[in-house]
């Protein structure tokens, strides 16, 4: 069953076209990865899906569980079961980890909050009363973000680069957390620039300069990404002719 | 007796725990308008309230070397819609003494209530004094609070003040705290206020680091919405060698509210250092989006961010 369907969405920001007629389909209870180099438009896609303030798609439609949510505000999408774990999560003065995780929970039971912390390998007694501010390291903050997503039990969790800023040794743990999310019945849209992390997915879409340029099995797409895309001259602010080449290439695909 | 019960009810609404008034190990003083309606002392604490025409003069002494184990609870209030209360405090924390005081100021029905507090506080050497003042005003915005304090801190001592007005309308608030800090002593002043309607907030906190290696932190967190106005002046003067100070002011503004932050940093000794940070603005967009992505409405998200900041 298709949980998310995107039909030809576009996004322009400050005169630059970030997403270009992008279409995508995500099956329920799967991990679907969006793989791509920096500045491919992956995070922008996440913000458009979530309905963030400045990320309103100019064209196209977004369907979530069969319902057209293109014009829905952020909180309405969240109430339907869509959420986003930010690549660099916000910090909050005075808000404890316990209170932060509880925000998205229907039943705000402490035992469930503790469970979500254990799930991201954080000891509840060490973290529940800590404040979600700059006293947490980047890695701790990211895990707490994942714990908050886990506790919310969304239907679709968009994880924007959960692996960035995490040391190589911790990558396996992050991958296990993503697998666990799926096991709990959630669908995961995983955004990453690491093909080895992308391999946790059931399906991968390769994104470049606002397009989906290839889709398929994670290993195959990862191989293509590694061999054909890196290093890629179009990564950052591609020149017009390079854009055109890419468009031609995309049309052929 | 009914007056005492009403004060305790208001005190409970302000977040206080009335059980402490029955605990013989905890000193307290309850003042309604100009009447002392309850008090209890513990060993080493001298508390002499004197009723005046419009309030109470209080002389407080913690004797040399005495450490008051539990916080001393004060409750000041005016329960009718109109009234005036003038509290004058003269406190002396003698050398080596330690005390924490928690004052609740309650004006739940204020239409035209004026509460003036003037304090003269002397903290000796090797001493510790923490004064926390929590206000609870009603929803009508009819309270006017004018609080002034002059504080002098000796050597190797610590002074902490916390002021918060987060429940009910502020009305008019004017705070002017001034402190003088001697060698190796530490000052921490924090004010947290949430204003709305047509509230007017003026906070001036000054730390004078006159002693060698003295330390000072002045921190303020103010949120204003609707037509409220706030002005926060945080000043640290460092005139002694190795004095270190920091001013940290954040104001959040919404709607038609107006906020001003004025950090003042004066350093007249080449071996002293004072830093400051001040920020005024709306609640960070990413914070709001993050909380909305968990299902909160925009207003709920803003409120949670502000409540956290003021916690």
Q: What percent of chain B has pLDDT over 70?
A: 99
Kindly tell me if the per-residue pLDDT of A196 is higher than 60: yes
Mean pLDDT (whole number) for B163-188: 95
Mutation test of the interface with chain A: which of B289, B302, B310, choosing the one with the most A Cβ atoms within 10 A? Answer: B289
CA distances from B175 to A23, B106, B129 (A): 59, 17, 19
Q: Which residues of B touch A86 (CB under 8 A)?
A: 286, 290
Residue in B with minimal Cα distance to A158: B293
User: What would the two tokens of residue B231 be?
Assistant: 């002005």
| Average pLDDT across chain B, whole number | 94
pLDDT at res. A245: 55
pLDDT grade for A171, boundaries at 50, 70 and 90: confident
Please count the other Cβ atoms lying within 10 Å of the Cβ belonging to residue A47: 22
Statement: residue B202 has pLDDT above 70: yes
Contacts B223 to A, Cβ<8 Å: none
| Averaged pLDDT, A18-38 | 95
Q: How far is B222 from chain A (nearest CA, A)?
A: 13
Please compute the mean of the pLDDT values over residues B200-228 and round it to a whole number.
97
Residue of B293, B307, B311 lying closest to A74 (CB–CB): B293
- Is B290 at the interface with chain A, CB within 8 A? yes
The whole-number pLDDT of residue B15 equals 81
Among chain A residues, CA nearest to B288: A90
Residues in chain B closer than 8 A to A148 (CB atoms): 294
How many domains are contained in chain B?
1
| Residue B176 host element (H or E) | strand B172-181
Are B305 and A95 in contact (CB < 8 Å)? yes
Quick check: A84 contacting B, CB < 8 Å? yes
Model confidence at B265, pLDDT cuts 50, 70, 90, reads very high
Mean pLDDT lowest among A223-232, B93-102, B120-129: A223-232
In angstroms, the CA B33 to CA B219 distance is 31
Top pLDDT among B258 and A252 is at B258
Per mean pLDDT, which range of A165-174, B172-181, B186-195, B283-292 is the poorest?
A165-174
d(CA B136, CA B145): 11
Q: Does any CB of chain A come closer than 8 Å to the CB of residue B226?
A: no
**Mean pLDDT over residues B83-100, rounded?**
97
Using the Cβ of A112 and the Cβ atoms of chain B, whether some distance falls under 8 Å is answered with no
| Banded model confidence at residue B266, pLDDT cuts 50, 70, 90 | very high
Count the neighbouring beta carbons within 10 Å of the beta carbon of residue A127: 22
Q: What is the pLDDT at residue A231?
A: 62
Taking residues B229-241, report their average pLDDT. 97
Instruction: Kindly state the helix (H) or strand (E) to which residue A181 belongs, with its residue range.
Output: helix A168-183
Give residue B1's pLDDT band: very low, low, confident or very high (50, 70, 90): low
User: Which pLDDT score is estimated for B154?
Assistant: 98
Instruction: Name the residue among A50, A75, A84 with its Cβ closest to that of B298.
Output: A75
Question: Pick the residue with more confidence: B13 or A167?
Answer: B13
Higher pLDDT, B4 or B109: B109
Phi, psi at residue B68, to the nearest 5°? -75, 115
Residue B166's closest CA among B5, B13, B9?
B13
Quick check: A183 pLDDT over 80? Answer: yes
Q: How many CB atoms lie within 10 A of CB B108?
A: 23
Name every chain A residue with its beta carbon within 8 A of the beta carbon of B166.
none
- A75–B295 CB contact, under 8 Å: yes
User: Which residues of chain B lie closer than 8 angstroms to A53, CB-CB?
Assistant: 285, 289
Strand arrangement of the beta sheet that strand A16-27 belongs to: A16-27, A2-13, A59-64, A67-68
Contact of A231 with chain B, judged by CB distance below 8 Å, is answered with no
Average pLDDT in the A87-114 region?
Answer: 95
Q: How confident is the model at residue B97 (pLDDT cuts 50, 70, 90)?
A: very high
Q: What is the pLDDT of residue A228?
A: 80
Token pair in block for residue B181: 């800090």
Q: ipTM of this model?
A: 0.90
Which residue of chain A is at minimal alpha-carbon distance from B296?
A75
Q: What is the pTM of this model?
A: 0.82
Q: What's the confidence (pLDDT) of residue A116? A: 94
Displacement of CA B42 from its chain's centroid (Å)? 24
Cα gap B137→B13, rounded to integer Å: 10
Instruction: Return d(Cα B297, Cα B31) in angstroms, integer.
Output: 42
CA geometry: angle B130, B132, B136, nearest 5 deg: 170
Distance from CA of A5 to the nearest CA of B (A): 19
Which structural domain, as residue segments, surrounds residue B70? 2-284
Q: Is A81 on the interface with B (CB under 8 A)?
A: no
Other Cβ atoms less than 10 A from the Cβ of A193: the count is 19
The verdict on residue B68 lying in a domain is: yes
User: Would an 8 Å CB–CB cutoff place B222 in contact with chain A?
Assistant: no
CB within 8 Å: A78 and B290: no
> Do residues B247 and B253 make contact, with C-beta atoms less than 8 angstroms apart?
no
Say if residue A14 is exposed, middle or buried (CB neighbours under 10 Å; 0-12, 13-18, 19+).
exposed
Residue-wise pLDDT for B19-69, tens only, equals 998 899 999 999 999 999 999 999 999 999 999 999 999 999 999 999 999
Residue A241 has pLDDT above 90, yes or no: no
pLDDT number for residue A239: 40
CATH for the stretch A2-252: 3.40.50.300
Chain Cα centroid distance, residue B275: 23
Question: Is B78 in contact with B108 (CB distance < 8 Å)?
Answer: no
Judge whether residue B9 has pLDDT over 60.
yes
């Amino acid at each position: 069953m298709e949980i998310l369907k995107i039909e030809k969405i576009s996004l322009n920001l400050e005169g630059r076209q970030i997403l270009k007629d992008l279409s995508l389909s995500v099956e329920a209870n799967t991990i679907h990865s969006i793989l791509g180099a920096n500045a491919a438009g992956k995070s922008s896609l996440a913000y458009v899906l979530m309905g963030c303030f400045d990320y309103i798609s100019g064209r196209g439609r977004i369907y979530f569980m069969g319902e057209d949510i293109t014009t829905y505000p952020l909180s309405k999408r969240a109430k339907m079961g869509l959420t986003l774990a930010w690549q660099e999560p916000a910090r909050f003065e005075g808000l404890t980890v316990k209170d932060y995780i509880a925000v998205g929970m229907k039943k705000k039971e402490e035992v469930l909050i503790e469970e979500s912390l254990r799930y991201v390998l954080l000891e509840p007694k060490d973290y529940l009363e800590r404040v979600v501010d700059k006293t947490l390291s980047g890695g701790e903050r990211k895990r707490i973000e994942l714990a908050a997503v886990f506790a919310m039990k969304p239907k679709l969790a968009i994880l924007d680069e959960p692996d960035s800023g995490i040391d190589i040794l911790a990558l396996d743990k992050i991958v296990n957390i993503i697998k666990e999310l799926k096991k709990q019945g959630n669908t995961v849209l995983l955004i990453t620039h690491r093909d080895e992390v992308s391999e946790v997915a059931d399906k991968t879409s390769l994104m470049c300069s606002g397009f989906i340029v290839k889709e398929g099995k994670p290993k195959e797409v990862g191989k293509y990404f590694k061999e054909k895309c890196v290093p890629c001259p179009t990564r950052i602010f591609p020149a017009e002719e390079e854009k055109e080449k890419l468009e031609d290439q995309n049309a052929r695909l | 007796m009914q007056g005492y019960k009403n004060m305790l009810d208001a005190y409970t609404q302000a977040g206080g725990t009335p059980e402490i008034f029955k605990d013989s190990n905890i000193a307290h003083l309850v003042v309604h308008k100009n009447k002392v309606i309850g008090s209890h002392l513990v060993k080493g604490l001298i508390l002499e309230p004197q009723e005046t025409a419009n309030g109470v003069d209080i002389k407080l002494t913690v004797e040399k070397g005495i450490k008051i184990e539990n916080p001393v609870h004060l409750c000041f209030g005016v329960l009718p819609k109109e009234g005036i209360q003038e509290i004058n405090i003269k406190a002396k924390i003698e050398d080596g003494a330690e005390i924490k005081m928690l004052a609740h100021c309650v004006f739940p029905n204020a239409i035209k209530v004026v509460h003036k507090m003037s304090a003269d506080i002397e903290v000796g050497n090797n001493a510790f004094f923490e004064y926390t003042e929590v206000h609870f005003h009603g929803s009508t915005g009819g309270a006017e609070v004018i609080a002034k304090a002059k504080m002098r801190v000796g050597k190797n001592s610590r002074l902490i003040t916390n002021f918060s007005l987060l429940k009910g309308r502020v009305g008019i608030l004017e705070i002017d705290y001034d402190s003088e800090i001697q060698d190796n002593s530490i000052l921490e002043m924090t004010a947290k206020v949430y204003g709305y309607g047509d509230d007017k907030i003026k906070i001036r906190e000054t730390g004078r680091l006159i002693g060698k290696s003295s330390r000072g932190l002045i921190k303020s967190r103010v949120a204003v919405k609707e037509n409220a106005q706030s002005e926060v002046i945080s000043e640290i003067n460092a005139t002694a060698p190795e004095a270190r100070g920091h001013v940290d002011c954040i104001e959040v503004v919404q709607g038609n509210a107006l906020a001003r932050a004025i950090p003042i940093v004066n350093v007249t000794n080449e071996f002293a250092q004072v830093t400051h940070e001040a920020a005024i603005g709306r609640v960070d967009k990413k914070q709001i989006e993050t909380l909305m992505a968990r299902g909160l409405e925009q207003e709920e998200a803003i409120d949670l961010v502000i409540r956290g900041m003021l916690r």
